[in-house]
Amino acid sequence: PGRCPATCECLEAAKTVKCVNRNLTAVPPDLPSYVRNLFITGNRLARLPVGAFPAQRLPELSALNLSGNHLRDVEADALAALPALRQLDLSGNPLVSLSPQVFGEGGSPLEELALRGALRDHGVLLSLATMLQSGVLRNLSRLELADNELLMLPAGMFAALPALRQLDLSNNSLVGLRNVSFQGLGQLQSLNLSNNSLAVLRNSTLAQFRGLPALRHISLGRNTWVCDCAIEDLVTWLKESDQVEGKEALTCAYPDKMLGKALLKINGSDLNCSVPVDLPSQLQTSYVFLGIVLALIGAIFLLVLYLNRKGIKKWMHNIRDACRDHMEGYHYRYEINADPRLTNLSSNSDV
């Protein structure tokens, strides 16, 4: 069909259809087959079921924008019938269910995926990780996960994205990247980690950055860097690396004495890390020393007992004889008290 739905605006020359802010509750079924760029935004779709985009109906659709539609549920195979889809925007939707099979099982040509503000539900994040790890989006070159209040990322989330070039994780609440692997992202050019809650980047993460030859744009601004001894590796890397954009503006957030100090101007004397403190090792050494002392005291005690064995034996015999005499005296008194004749005799003798 070549006609334009009544709720949409169609530009045939540009092969573009816009269905914006029309309170739609479903995808219009009579979209023109020539459409390449489809905007269905600001509506009330709620769910994207199987068959929302009929098979072979939109063979040229390459850019699909479904942002701001109050979408909560995206079902399996909902986007499987779009053979030319290259760009998908699901930003601004309060998703609570995202099927890992939304693109089907045969793979998708998708190159750009935007999920800004759509992953507030942890279950949806896990479903997305499962989808990415399945390899169905191996052609993906741009992934936008900003504005999602993410604290941590699932391990191995980006392992099956060999074509990824741009990764946006900005404006989240990421506290660390220890379980995040960037290995295999040989094409990665841009990584945005700005406006998070990163306190430090460990050597393992920095080593991964060094091992990505195409990575030339890393954004680290507006993070809560803690300038203690643990930040030395990060400072060293910043001074020698040309991968970080605007690294001169990176400053300490804690402790108070380092507040506002530029990371590039930090040296060893500022951190007072000349003598590393390894508390677990110190405790282990103390326990070993205490064990040796106690063992020595025990050996001395046993040696004293051995050298004085005869005197100790005589002392034990004396104690035994004294106890026996004492018990015999008690036994004699008991016999006198128990025999009335002896009791009367004892009384008369006293008189």
Whether residues 134 and 83 share a domain: the answer is yes
Range of the domain at 320: 281-330
Digit-coded pLDDT (tens) for 221-270? 999 999 999 999 999 999 999 999 999 999 999 999 999 999 999 987 88
Whether residues 227 and 313 share a domain: the answer is no
Digit-coded pLDDT (tens) for 317-340? 788 777 877 777 777 777 677 666
Whether residues 89 and 214 share a domain: the answer is yes
Q: Which long-range contacts (CB under 8 A, 24 or more apart) does 65-68 make?
A: 65/38, 65/39, 65/40, 65/41, 65/89, 66/40, 66/41, 66/90, 66/93, 67/41, 67/91, 67/92, 67/93, 67/114, 68/41, 68/42, 68/43, 68/92, 68/93
DSSP labels for 147-183? SS--S---TTTTTT-TT--EEE--SS-----TT---T
Whether residues 197 and 70 share a domain: the answer is yes
Whether residues 143 and 21 share a domain: the answer is yes
pLDDT of residue 290: 85
Digit-coded pLDDT (tens) for 63-97? 999 999 999 999 999 999 999 999 999 999 999 99
pLDDT of residue 306: 79
Tokens, residue 265: 């101007």
pLDDT for residue 175 is more than 70: yes
pLDDT of residue 281: 60
pLDDT of residue 311: 79
For residue 69, the domain's CATH number is 3.80.10.10
Whether residues 308 and 221 share a domain: the answer is no
Whether residues 99 and 171 share a domain: the answer is yes
291 against 310, higher pLDDT: 291
pLDDT of residue 285: 72
Whether residues 224 and 86 share a domain: the answer is yes
Number of domains within the chain: 2
Within a domain: 346: no
pLDDT of residue 299: 86
Q: Whole-number mean pLDDT of the chain? A: 89
342 against 271, higher pLDDT: 271
Whether residues 138 and 176 share a domain: the answer is yes
pLDDT of residue 286: 75
Within a domain: 344: no
Within a domain: 222: yes
351 against 189, higher pLDDT: 189
Whether residues 238 and 287 share a domain: the answer is no
Model pTM score: 0.77
pLDDT of residue 2: 61
Return the number of other C-beta atoms located less than 10 Å from residue 139's C-beta.
16
pLDDT of residue 351: 41
Within a domain: 311: yes
Domain endpoint, select from 270, 295, 315: 270
pLDDT of residue 313: 76
pLDDT of residue 307: 79
Domain endpoint, select from 248, 270, 292: 270
Whether residues 288 and 264 share a domain: the answer is no
**Average pLDDT of the segment spanning 192-209:** 96
How does residue 277 score in pLDDT terms, banded at 50, 70 and 90? very low
Within a domain: 176: yes
